[in-house]
A and B are shown apart, each in its own frame.
Chain A
Amino acid sequence: MKAYKIIVLAKQVPDTRNVGKDAMKADGTINRAALPAIFNPEDLNALEQALRIKDRFPGSTVTILTMGPGRAAEIIREGMFRGADGGILLTDRAFAGSDTLATSYAISRALKKVKDFDIVIAGRQAIDGDTAQVGPQVAEKLGLPQVTYVEEIQKIENGKVEMKRRLERGVETVSCPVPLVLTVNGSAPDCRARNAKLIMKYKHAKTVTELQNSNEDYLHLYNDRPYLNIPEWTVNDIEVDHAELGLSGSPTKVKKVENVVLQAKEAKVITSADSDIDDLMRELIESHTIG
């Protein structure tokens, strides 16, 4: 049986889903410190699809590729605790200010360096930028077909992947030859939990930078157990045209950002008493809002 080399694209994001009372400051702006950095939710769905391929085709490998600041190595470890074999951190100041096009360019160049892969799996959308553009753009830059909104990979046979897509108004089953890029929907199965054995095995996995900044007593471990070294790539490790990176490589520019500030309207306050509801309905009928 064939084994597959799978790359999962994952992004570390601020948890924008739980912007509760403490996450908004009194002036209505976002208190970023109150938002934990998490594994982008749909990238966990993507990881699960990858791990299922590995379950079905022993010998397959799952590698997480993330572009971001140094701390994004956290999600590589998180992925390893759940069953990924390793990861690559793509990090460089030159990537700062990237729009989706410059992001996909950098990611596609890193994938060119990886070279040997069959399936790239991304999440549909990141919860901070919210664009859902990186997956399809990576596919285009690599000249590979793309399949978006995947909910389930049903089978892989004769070099073709068959999968179910969840669309706005229905479902579609498609078949696509490898290599390909697919993006996974939030409606796909949740990712399996961390595994205690894997946590033991990988908890000390670190990038070079993390290792330099730590006072690790067991440096020899990193020679004896190569899987503890998380590769860290900068622009110097990938073949790139610098003009295509970061701000200069980004056609879109953010001209202005406004925080959404909630301003209270003058509202009429009503109780659940019969007389109040009676009055309300009468008022709405008289103003021709209803009736």
Chain B
Amino acid sequence: MNSVFVYCEIEDGQVAEVSQELMTKGRSLANELKCKLEAIVIGHQLEGVEEQIFPYGVDTVHVADDKRLFPYSTLPHTSIIVKLFEEQKPQIALMGASSIGRDLGPRVSSALHSGLTADCTSLVIGDHLDKKQDKNYENLLYQIRPAFGGNIIATIINPDCRPQMATVREGVMKKQVLDPKYKGKVVKLDVAKYVSDADFAVEIIERHMEKSKVNMKGAPIVVAGGYGMGSKENFQLLYDLAEVLGGEVGASRAAVDAGYVEHERQIGQTGVTVRPKLYIACGISGQIQHRAGMEESAQIIAINTDPEAPINAVADYVITGDVAEIIPKMIKYYKKNTK
């Protein structure tokens, strides 16, 4: 049976969070399909990178190591993957829906004439009966994704072309090490056979990457603010509450767009997905794109002046009122009750 492949992104010598999540998902798909899980890593100075990859249950890791392959650029990475996939013929290929994956995935899928489903929120194996052709397809990948601004959820299949390719955002799948001692094999690719000089047409002149400082996905409590916080200064209330409760601060896109808070804190369809023990939504209306990133939280408190705010429909506790009044009270009574 053909394999499931995961493209591993590398940041500062570390396999990206989203790739770890996809390997976890890839392993469970491979188990169900009774096939191997393989990974491909492309970059420079990758000695030992397999140690970060095998624990997720990867059977074979293909490594393309060359100084021209870092930082990422579209054409050489595409050439390597396209040729490797032509040789290996995976049945499924997964990539992060990151700046890299969403640049690379479509180019690879176009070259291979395979389908690509963007931003999947769920991937499951299932059968499909094509009534017109009276043909039954077994073990297809159901690629489930929101579209239409998040107002519909579509199940996409790719019956005839391989690989079945999908991108998934960071934080959507859960990551879990299968076995820290799992051992697979390493295949080093002869890079010169995969890339040509023409692949280096785009030159990177300058690059400034920031390490992510916030760890919202790991936070047990997320205190999120929306446009209803009213100002950057008022966001301080959220940092105060998050600090006493031991949580992180998140935000809606409207709050990010208004400049109240940095982009990496955005929660939702085009931000991160969080599943904390407690989510406190402050001055957030709860549009579908926002809810997509938080509605699996174990408990949700919504604080909003509007008793009809859509966020209330997913909340366990609805507090109708002004954030500026309520948040200080929450801090006060939390302190009082934990003394």
Contacts and interface: CB of A to CB of B under 8 A. Distances in A.
B84 interface: no
A289 interface: yes
B20 interface: no
Contacts, number: 239
Contacts of A175: 202-203, 205
A188 B264 CA distance: 18
Given A253-B159, A277-B326, A280-B317, A136 B149 contact: no
B205 A254 contact: no
Most buried by A among B74, B149, B201, B299: B149
Contact of A257 (B114, B115, B152, B320): B152
Given A130-B119, A256-B155, A269-B318, A170 B207 contact: yes
Given A174-B203, A175-B203, A250-B115, A136 B103 contact: yes
A162 B334 CA distance: 54
Interface string B89-120: 00000000011001101110111011111110
Nearest to B117: A252
Contacts of A99: 115
Given A130-B118, A265-B315, A267-B315, A16 B158 contact: no
Contacts of B278: 284, 289-290
Nearest to B74: A146
A284 B241 CA distance: 14
Interface stretch (A72-80, A137-145, A196-204): A137-145
B155 A100 contact: no
B99 A149 contact: yes
A263 B119 CA distance: 24
A171 interface: yes
Given A30-B148, A139-B107, A251-B160, A260 B288 contact: yes
Nearest to B153: A258
Contacts of B110: 101, 104, 136-137, 140-141
The size bracket of the interface on B is 35 or more
Given A100-B116, A169-B212, A271 B320 contact: yes
Contacts of A258: 152-154
B103 A148 contact: yes
Contacts of B326: 272, 277
A260 B157 CA distance: 20
Interface stretch (B33-41, B42-50, B181-189, B306-314): B306-314
Interface string B63-107: 000000001011100100000000000000000001100110111
B151 A173 contact: no
Contact of A272 (B111, B148, B288, B325): B325
B106 A265 contact: no
A140 B111 contact: yes
Interface residues of A, number: 74
Nearest to A291: B338
A134 B106 CA distance: 8
A59 to B, nearest CB: 26
B151 A16 contact: yes
A137 B107 contact: yes
A125 B287 CA distance: 20
B280 to A, nearest CB: 10
Contacts of A282: 333, 337
Contact of B99 (A134, A167, A176): A167
Given A176-B203, A270-B318, 17 more contacts: A16-B151, A101-B113, A139-B107, A145-B202, A167-B99, A174-B73, A174-B204, A250-B115, A251-B115, A252-B116, A253-B158, A258-B154, A259-B151, A264-B312, A265-B315, A267-B312, A272-B325
Interface of B: 11, 71, 73-75, 78, 98-99, 102-103, 105-107, 109-111, 113-119, 128, 142-143, 146-161, 201-212, 221, 245-246, 264, 277-278, 287-288, 298-299, 301-302, 310, 312-322, 325-326, 329-330, 333-334, 336-338
24 contacts: A30-B152, A101-B110, A131-B119, A133-B102, A133-B106, A137-B106, A140-B110, A167-B209, A168-B99, A169-B264, A172-B208, A174-B73, A251-B113, A253-B157, A257-B153, A259-B153, A267-B317, A269-B318, A281-B337, A282-B333, A285-B334, A289-B277, A289-B278, A290-B278
